[in-house]
């Protein structure tokens, strides 16, 4: 029998994102099985609410007040080994997938060790670290778009720096196949450890201890054509330690905006504007947010 999804009204969003800001979702549900999708879609349609697919909430800013959407948290989890890699469901936390691969002697994911969130969010934003991106490993995607299931191979999909093949929230990523290679588990584990240690040296800390959404701005290209880390430019304009209300810039990493206590979404937007202005004045470049404003990414 098809499991029936449950729906909840006016659900607080702050605990569902690593920045821990935001008001309430008008409607909220959790996806535990692909068979629940039709009923969830139908309910959104009936209520006239756009859908918002939520993973780990580690790259998101939720609005203050009432978020007029049906927020669906993805709990589809699981990993299946294949002859040349793995197939994983999109709600699998990326960290669990990396740990599973290391334990099972599959190499390839190590540079991404320590990135929070789910595989679905990682596909949506083509996450990357240490010079590698998730789509370097993707072989095939299974997704639900415009009422249909589709299986797409990696060839023909165009991805770029922090952009998956499709705009955020225009579809639901169900699962993907990753091409990995066999290696001694001890060696893979050691490599993961090294990448995690390197990460911990650079960042102010992981959620929930430090409430951030990782790098707040994308790394820009200067008018001269030179590529620069957003953190470098922000540090140069004196961003470290700046704050608006409860939102502040980390003293350790100028591209990490953190919730210092009771920050609101408006605090983060105010701080983001201020930082963008300063960088524009000094370097002539418009910083783009890497963190997504949830209200700009609704599936209608
Ligand atoms: C401490 C810290 C460190 C970080 N380090 C890095 C880093 O090194 N590199 C990096 O690239 N990022 C980094 N991030 C950002 C973040 O972890 C990634 O972007 C992550 O992949 C987001 O996944 P999520 O499940 O949390 O997505 P969410 O934040 O829940 O959602 C992000 C977007 O993906 C969409 N989405 C989520 N799941 C699905 C789905 N199944 N189908 C369709 N759309 C979906 C959402 O609708 C939304 O538009 C970091 C964040 C933190 C807090």
The pTM of the full predicted model, rounded to 2 decimals, is 0.96
Fold of 210-295: 3.90.78
Q: Rounded to an integer, what distance in angstroms lies between the CA atom of residue 248 and that of residue 271?
A: 7
Q: Rounded to an integer, what distance in angstroms lies between the CA atom of residue 222 and that of residue 283?
A: 7
Question: Is 270:245 a contact under the CB 8 Å cutoff?
Answer: yes
Nearest atom within ligand 1 for CA of residue 171: 43
Q: Quick one: CA dihedral 136, 139, 144, 145, positive or negative?
A: positive
Q: Domain 7-76's class? A: alpha beta
Residue-level pLDDT at 300: 66
Q: Rounded to an integer, what distance in angstroms lies between the CA atom of residue 14 and that of residue 265?
A: 10
**Average pLDDT for residues 38-58, to the nearest whole number?**
95
Residue-level pLDDT at 4: 75
* 196 pocket-lining for ligand 1 (C-beta < 6 Å): no
Query: pLDDT tens digits for 52-91?
Result: 999 999 999 999 999 999 999 999 999 999 999 999 999 9
Which two structure tokens, joined as six digits, stand for 189?
Answer: 């584990």
* 172 pocket-lining for ligand 1 (C-beta < 6 Å): yes
Torsion of Cα atoms, 212 then 218 then 224 then 228, to 10° = 50
Question: Is 72:54 a contact under the CB 8 Å cutoff?
Answer: yes
Domains of the chain, by residue range, sit at 7-76, 79-201, 210-295
Closest-CA residue to 203 (of 195, 41, 53, 4): 195
Fold of 79-201: 3.30.465
Q: Rounded to an integer, what distance in angstroms lies between the CA atom of residue 68 and that of residue 112?
A: 33
């Amino acid at each position: 029998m098809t499991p029936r999804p449950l729906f909840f009204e006016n659900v607080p969003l702050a605990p569902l994102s690593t920045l821990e800001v935001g008001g309430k979702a008008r409607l909220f549900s959790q996806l535990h099985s692909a068979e629940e999708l039709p009923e969830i879609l139908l309910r959104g349609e009936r209520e006239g609410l756009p859908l918002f697919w939520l993973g780990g909430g580690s790259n998101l800013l939720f609005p203050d007040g009432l978020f007029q959407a049906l927020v669906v948290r993805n709990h589809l989890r699981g990993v299946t080994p294949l002859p040349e890699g793995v197939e994983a469901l999109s709600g699998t936390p990326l960290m669990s997938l990396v740990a599973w691969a290391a334990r099972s002697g599959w190499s390839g994911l190590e540079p991404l060790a320590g990135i929070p969130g789910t595989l679905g969010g990682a596909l949506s934003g083509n996450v990357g670290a240490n010079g590698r991106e998730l789509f370097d490993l993707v072989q095939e995607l299974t997704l639900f778009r415009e009422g249909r299931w589709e299986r797409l191979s990696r060839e023909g999909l165009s991805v770029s720096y922090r952009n998956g093949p499709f705009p955020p929230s225009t579809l639901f990523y169900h699962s993907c196949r990753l091409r990995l290679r066999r290696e001694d588990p001890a060696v893979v584990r050691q490599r993961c450890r090294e990448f995690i240690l390197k990460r911990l040296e650079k960042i102010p800390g992981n959620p929930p201890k430090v409430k951030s959404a990782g790098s707040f701005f994308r790394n820009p290209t200067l008018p001269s054509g030179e590529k620069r880390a957003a953190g470098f430019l922000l540090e140069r304009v004196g961003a470290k330690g700046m704050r608006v209300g409860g939102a502040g810039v980390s003293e350790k990493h100028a591209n990490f905006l953190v919730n210092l206590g009771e920050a609101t979404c408006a605090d983060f937007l105010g701080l983001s504007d201020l930082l963008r202005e300063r960088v524009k004045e000094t370097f002539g470049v418009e910083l783009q947010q890497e963190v997504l404003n949830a209200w700009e990414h609704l599936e209608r």
